[in-house]
Structures are given as structure tokens and as C-alpha cells.
A and B are shown apart, each in its own frame.
Chain A
Amino acid sequence: MSNPSKYLDDLIREFSKLPGIGTKSASRLAFHILNMAVEDTERLIDSIVSLKKNIGTCIICGGISDEERCSICRNESRDSGLICIVENARDVLTIESTGKYSGLYHVLMGLISPLDGIGPEELNISSLIKRCGSNDVREVILALNSTVEGDATTLYLAKILSNLGIKVTRIARGLPVGADLEFADCATIIKSIEGRVEL
């Protein structure tokens, strides 16, 4: 297959490197851009470049931040005695979108996975221990995925954090809200029964 334009080819190839974009979507995007006004494409390019130039990681929690410390860590009205541990920066956005959590976060930037060559040293753990040791941290919530890697990381952190005398909790597991019991798999139902609460 050869396109009439090398420039078009280049853009399609770049787009199709993005997650969830195949050659067809990439070519649709490229044609859309071709038809856009020049100033609109410049704005698009500017926003991509300034994203890359200006966003860094927060020196405290490891989440994404425009400054040295992110807006969540700087916010003094948040409960600094409560830290929620998540796998990546996107999880912070997910939990923040609920608007119901008022504590701080800590981003691990991965999970323990020996098969991928990732051990505790490769994760953002040493700064977590420093945070828990020096601040007035009461409780740490582990909000990691329910996979073998997530479970291993949860166990590992629970072990070192409880040695520091901090209360360690894990988010509940079971049926998603609004889900039909009939369609849930066995493991989910078993977890739901194990994690039942008194009314």
C-alpha cells in the first residue's frame, strides 16, 4: 500500500503507535487534521508539547504535578493522616472523580512482579516509608488491583507498614454496585460473602 503523500503516511504511522488506535482510526484522525484550520492544529500541538514540558511527578506522592508538589499534597484542608496507596497516577484521577475521599495519595508506579523483573526497589516505596515515619499518618489504605501482583504488593506493604505501627486497611472486594448477583463469577461472590457487613 502506498499513500499519495509521505507526510500523511508519517502522521498515520505516529498515530497508530498510540494505545487503542489502529491504522484505520489513525488515517481518519490524520485526514481530520488535514482539514483543520492551521491555528487549530497549532493549538493542538502546543497543548501536547506543553503537557510534556510542564508536567512532572510530585516529590511527595509520586503522582502527576505541574509544580514540585501536586495540588492534592499542597491542599491543607485535606486529611494528612490518611494515605491511599495506588498503582499509578491514573488511579488517583479515578478516586478523585468520586469527590468522596479527602485524604492524600501515594503512587507506587507499578506492582511487584518478579516475572517482569519488578521488585520493591523498582517501586516508589522508600519515599512512602519516609512519609509514614515522619508525618502524623494514622492510616494507610491499600487500593491495589485484585491480581496476583496486586495481592503480593499489598501483602508486602502491609508487612512493612504495620511494623511502623500504622493502621493498614485494604479496599473492600466483592460485587460492583448495580451488578446482578446472577452474572457475578464464583470468586467475586465468595469475596462478597467473606467481606459481608453487619447492618
Chain B
Amino acid sequence: MYIDRLILQNFRNYDNLNIEFSPGLNFIIGENGIGKTNILEAIYIASNIRSFRNIPDSEIIRWGENYYYCKSLIKENEYRKFEVGCNIDNGNVRKKIKIDDREIKKASDYFGKLLTVVFIPVDINIVSGSPDLRRRFFDSVISKIDPSYFEVLNKYKKILSSRNTILKQLKEKRSNYYNELDIWDSMFADSSYFIVKKREEFIEEFSKLFSLSYEKIAGTDSVPVIEYNSSIKSMHRDEILSELQQRRDKDILFGSTGIGPQRDDYLFLNNKRLFVNYASQGQKRIAAISLKISECDIIEKITEKKSLILIDDIFSELDKNRRENMIGLFQRGNQVIFTMTNSGYFDSMNVISTYKRFLVNYAGITEN
């Protein structure tokens, strides 16, 4: 699938924007702070409802306005028109999402219909940051290829906070909630069994693809693998339940649940050594890029659809050779939209696909 046209109103610095992309490669070139990334952000929102910058919608609305609107017209896909509108009224944010003119009420019905993979400089934190960032990344990838995972994950989050609330009440001995705790234990065991099993199956497949693309970029370097690390790995539903009941006193003491998917991590290992402990900044960058390339690979493998690839300025960190390697890697039949600050990068690339070039400055965006 590819995006044919993007139409924006009051989105960040754009009051009105209407651009037509090439189905091949697209290069958006301009100085820092001119609004290149905003274009990628708009396409990402059309696909994921939320921004990759992790900020409230009210900040995306153009200064002084009270709404934004974003429409993406997609080709070679089952669904053609994706619209996200957001309106702020007396501090209340209201968002309306539509696919092919039909309003969508549940996020799980929206996910996975417009597939995008985004490469941003902060991706490196997935490799070297806290476990929470890795869980979030892998959760989003699994949700794209399996909407039932997304649905169970949302339920599970609510079950976990309900259970934790009961634990805190028991700790303060406010009431006798033991009967009720049994119910949440049972629901927790059901949903976490489902999640952990999906994660295990997923990572086994994903790790192979990851190692493969790491090898392609880094060449001779020793290649890391990803291992899924869970407190309830390979446990059956009833084993999780009895584990929960065994550690009940401890959980009450801490007022929180000590085992489960919320404590999981994904480890990057090389001969049992932790990758982050010895890897250089460059190696971490390669690992981050490999994660995203494997995301494209696994989506293609399972859904048989080509994702739209969005690449935000990851070139400035790489030397000329690596840059050329990367461009080669991305000419794989997907539509790719790059942003870059320096048109010199573009001139030095060996582009074989059809492409379009856009220049962004204070006057707006022009094709050239």
C-alpha cells in the first residue's frame, strides 16, 4: 500500500496542505524546525491515531485554532480513505476517526488497516532505555498483526489496575476483599497467559529476522539475538493462578502485582552477554534500525501487505557508506518517505526507484 495524497488543515505549522506523493521514494528536504517531521507525524496519526511524539492532541492543533484535520488517501489497499479530526472545545478534546467515510468507535477496529513503520532518532532508546519502552514497541508491533492481542492487552491493563487497587485496600485492611481478589486473580491469569504466549511465539520469529537485518547492515560484526524474559514464561494458565495465590501475602505487602506481563523484558544478547553493556553508540543505532526493518519484514510476512515506511532524519548520524547501504536496504518495493536537512545527502545517494523531492521552507512546501 502507499499514500497517494495527504491533506492537512490546522495541523502543527500547516494551515492548509495538500501533497501528492510518489509510490516509490519521497525526500522531504528543509532546515531544522521548518515542519518536515510534522508531515510524517500526520501520516503516522492517520495510521495509529496517536502521535509518535507522545504528546496530547491539543498540542498538534495549529496555534490559535481549535481543531485539526488530517486525511490520507491510500492506494493498493483494501481501505482507501483515512480521516482523523480533532476538536478542542472548552478544554475538552474530541477526536473523530473515519475509514472510507464510516466512523470508527473502537481503536481495535482501526489498528492494522493502514500499516506504517516509523524510523525516528529516539528509536535508540528502545535498545538502551527502560524495559517499558521495549514492551511498548513490541506490543505495538504485535497489535498491528493481531488485533485480538490489542484487545486482550487493553482488558489486561484494566484487570491489573483493578487487582492492584484491591491489594492496596487489603493492605490498609479497609475491608475483607479476599473473595473479590479471587475473581481478579482468575481474570489476571486468563489474560496474562494469552499475552505471554503471544509474546513468546512472536519473539521467536522476530529474533531471526532481527539478526538477519543486523548482519546485513553491520557486516562482520557479531550479531545479537533477542530473548523474551518473563516471570511467568512457559507457565500454563492454572500455574499462573497458583503462583499468584502463593505470593498473595507479598503482593498485598507491596500493594502491587509482582509477576506478569507488566514486568517482562526483551533482552538483546550476544553469547549470553548483554548487548547494551558493550555495544557502541553506532552498534546501538544499527540495532534500532534493524528492529524497525524487522518490523516491516514481519508485517509483510504475516499480513502479505507492504507497510509505508517513514524515516525521520536518521542520516545525519551515519557516514557516507552506511547511508548508501541504508538507501539500498529501503529500495525493497515499499513506499518510503524520508526527511533530511541537507540536500547534499540526497545528491550522494544512488536512487534507482521512482522518486519525488520536496523542498520545505518558510513559504511552504514545493515539489522539485
Contacts and interface: CB of A to CB of B under 8 A. Distances in A.
Interface stretch (A36-44, A86-94, A96-104, A182-190): A182-190
A114 B166 contact: yes
B155 interface: yes
Contact of B162 (A120, A152, A155, A190): A152
A29 B4 CA distance: 47
Contacts of B182: 159
Interface string A114-143: 110001110000000000000000000000
Interface string B180-198: 1011101100000000000
A112 interface: yes
| B interface, over-half SS | helix
B155 A185 contact: no
B151 interface: yes
A10 to B, nearest CB: 20
A160 B187 CA distance: 16
Q: Which of A112, A119, A190 has the most CB of B within 10 A?
A: A119
Contact of B180 (A148, A151, A156, A186): A156
Nearest to B162: A114
Contacts of A190: 148
A190 B147 CA distance: 12
Given A113-B162, A187-B151, A119 B177 contact: yes
A119 B179 CA distance: 11
A156 B179 contact: yes
B161 interface: yes
A82 to B, nearest CB: 25
A115 B158 contact: yes
A146 B182 CA distance: 19
A192 B161 CA distance: 29
A160 B180 CA distance: 11
Contacts of A186: 108, 147-148, 151
B220 interface: no
Interface residues of B, number: 24
B183 A148 contact: no
A177 B241 CA distance: 36
A121 B177 CA distance: 10
A120 B155 contact: no
A187 B165 CA distance: 27
B256 to A, nearest CB: 13
A62 B148 CA distance: 37
B154 to A, nearest CB: 9
A148 B158 contact: yes
B187 A112 contact: no
B309 to A, nearest CB: 26
Contact of B186 (A112, A155, A160): A155
Interface in B156-173: 158-159, 161-163, 165-166, 169
Contacts of B348: none
A114 B108 CA distance: 24
B182 to A, nearest CB: 7
Contacts of B186: 155
B280 interface: no
A148 B162 contact: yes
A185 B109 contact: yes
Interface of B: 106, 108-109, 147-148, 151, 155, 158-159, 161-163, 165-166, 169, 175, 177, 179-180, 182-184, 186-187
Given A119-B180, A186-B108, 19 more contacts: A114-B162, A114-B180, A115-B162, A115-B165, A119-B175, A119-B177, A120-B179, A148-B155, A148-B158, A148-B159, A152-B162, A152-B183, A152-B187, A159-B183, A185-B106, A185-B109, A186-B147, A186-B151, A190-B148
18 contacts: A113-B162, A114-B163, A114-B184, A115-B161, A115-B165, A119-B175, A119-B177, A119-B180, A148-B155, A148-B158, A152-B162, A152-B184, A152-B187, A155-B187, A156-B183, A159-B182, A185-B108, A185-B151
